[in-house]
Structure 1
């Protein structure tokens, strides 16, 4: 059996004395797109933060591409796994050009070929070269999120953590970004772990999903069960009903 790209076993995450995630366990296969869904405050984003190192107070075990995650900062981990945040404007430095934002990971990790890599990555996310020396405030929301995705891919990681990557965007732009993410996954063999509250996004982009409530995983299901409404847990069915039972993305 092949090594999963992401494996969590009884992950419990705390903020101070408050436990936010309770014994979450799941595996994501290499090349799979897996979603964490549920209401705000259910612990979805906290799992991504624990994996990425932004929420270090956790117990249990985690591994990414077969390597165990520790609690201490790990610079090498950035070459394996990167995170794309909900708000592209907040995640990009306002006083740095697109070129500087994209080149920075290469400089930190001592990787050469900066010029060619920046040009190639802009093209990969559908931005032409005229955007290269613009600042974030000179870009639209969709363009900023394309830059954020490009930056996450500069080190050629195989795993992306996607924290509500389209929820801050207009509906028409959401569709463009979702199509881009699907294309990049197919072309680069990427593994996605995505947090979202939007079930149509899950039906379009993901293979499986875990439903979370009050910090616990209540059900793990294939996307076919989501599309057909054949979810087992009562809360999962409530989420499906709240979506109107129509799961075609806008």
Structure 2
């Protein structure tokens, strides 16, 4: 059975700098997988390579069994979408919620747009009365709900989540994490999450890969976050640095 995402020997270079070096990751359908590491470790670059935002990469990327190079942007968008860290930056400031959510349907020639927009807003916990508001008229949590709704409009099964809660207040982070857990269960979604916050991984994910200076130094199950059973020295350092940070996320459960 093909994986939701299969990355083999991926390397990414910015100019003369190797940002990602020979990384291989296989994420099963329905799984929630985290890429963790400090800033500059290459984790967001991997997601950007998958969605086509990085031109200079080598290796193989398959989405739902199809080579990334064989999927045009239209076909790829129906398989995979990305949710970015800062919802205010990722939403067009002059487009209403309705325009933002309708756009993917319009581009792909999908009808019944009004009903689908309202249904999706309700699905992510947004009151339809916010439909014609602009991003600046929404809170940070509401904006991220719009960003998640936009990513789901074409019913993809793979979501790439780039630090989806780090720009939000702590109380709102818990709400968005709970939303992501519910949506995954309801829609059979696969997640690939990028974060530096191990408590978020413990709450949301099944497995994690630890990146250090562009290399994957360890893969393990989330049980390692409870007992600290990491093999790689850097992974153990990351775990030790995270101790005590879990209180912010634990209340999400």
**TM-score, structure 2 normalization:** 0.96
Whether contact under 8 Å (1:34, 1:206) holds in the other structure is yes
What is residue 138 of structure 1 aligned with on the other side? 137
What is residue 101 of structure 1 aligned with on the other side? 100
Runs of at least 5 residues in structure 2 that lack an aligned partner in the other structure: none
Runs of at least 5 residues in structure 1 that lack an aligned partner in the other structure: none
Summarize deviations over 1:3-59 as a string: whole Å, max 9, x none.
110001100011222211000001000000000000000000000000000012111
Whether contact under 8 Å (1:34, 1:194) holds in the other structure is yes
Whether contact under 8 Å (1:83, 1:162) holds in the other structure is yes
What is residue 187 of structure 1 aligned with on the other side? 186
Moved more, 217-226 or 72-81: 72-81
Residues 143 and 246 of structure 1, relative CA distance in 2, 3 Å threshold: closer
What is residue 207 of structure 1 aligned with on the other side? 206
SS of 1:111's equivalent in the other structure is coil
| Counterpart-to-counterpart distance in 2, 1:214 and 1:246 | 23
Aligned 1:6-45 pairs, distance under 5 A: 6-45=5-44
Aligned 1:71-86 pairs, distance under 5 A: 74-86=73-85
| Counterpart-to-counterpart distance in 2, 1:4 and 1:228 | 29
SS of 2:102's equivalent in the other structure is helix
Q: CA RMSD in A?
A: 1.3
| Counterpart-to-counterpart distance in 2, 1:23 and 1:243 | 27
What is residue 125 of structure 2 aligned with on the other side? 126
What is residue 240 of structure 1 aligned with on the other side? 239
SS of 1:90's equivalent in the other structure is helix
What is residue 161 of structure 2 aligned with on the other side? 162
| Counterpart-to-counterpart distance in 2, 1:3 and 1:228 | 32
SS of 1:70's equivalent in the other structure is helix
Kindly indicate whether residue 132 of structure 2 is the aligned counterpart of residue 112 of structure 1: no
Moved more, 136-145 or 55-64: 55-64
Moved more, 54-63 or 164-173: 54-63
CA apart distance, 1:246: 5.9
Moved more, 23-32 or 226-235: 226-235
**TM-score, structure 1 normalization:** 0.97
| Counterpart-to-counterpart distance in 1, 2:31 and 2:244 | 24
| Counterpart-to-counterpart distance in 1, 2:17 and 2:218 | 23
Summarize deviations over 1:162-211 as a string: whole Å, max 9, x none.
00000000000000000000000000000000100000000000000000
| Counterpart-to-counterpart distance in 2, 1:168 and 1:132 | 23
Summarize deviations over 1:83-109 as a string: whole Å, max 9, x none.
000000000000000000000001111
| Counterpart-to-counterpart distance in 2, 1:176 and 1:140 | 13
